[in-house]
Structure 1
């Protein structure tokens, strides 16, 4: 990793640590930000009247994208926010409410369930 890319990587790590400290009031100086696949979980929540949908948001540095995954017993729906490079990722402001927002509404996904039982897409 060249010096410039390393500096950007460290800036991304600092942004994530700052975000996690602000959102979750947790900060561990020694905690690794990314796993060995250069992925970092950013947000997790549940939605729906009975909180039947799980939303997991992950930053994937290998593919320069944020993955928003909505899962339910019968549905696994993903959205991708792609970036041209790490510099663009480093300039993104991380906000929990923005991260868990998806183009697909959980009510729309609920309507799909009777028609798609057992089918994952």
Structure 2
């Protein structure tokens, strides 16, 4: 009789714990669904506006610094100023909203000597 009573108590409390876990999981899914619906609703409001915006982009590739360039840019013993080299294209690049220049050569001057073709390594 005692054994059965403990088994019944364990069964009752076990179900309560299971119900709490199911309720927690159910709440979690409800929060996710409400969040997604809210996001979609706000997105649809934003998408219905007629947005006529433009963005200008400048992309430059293969920016290789050959030894002639970094020798001409050298200031003093350890300094470099590359601004005069880029001066002719400065206005074209700054006119854009987004600018991207792909630096093709390594900038590892602290650890390795500067070099040109085939193993480019330029000042930082």
Q: TM-score, normalized by length of structure 2?
A: 0.23
Structure with greater strand percent: 1
Higher helix share: 2
TM-score by length of 1: 0.23
In terms of Rg, which structure is larger?
2
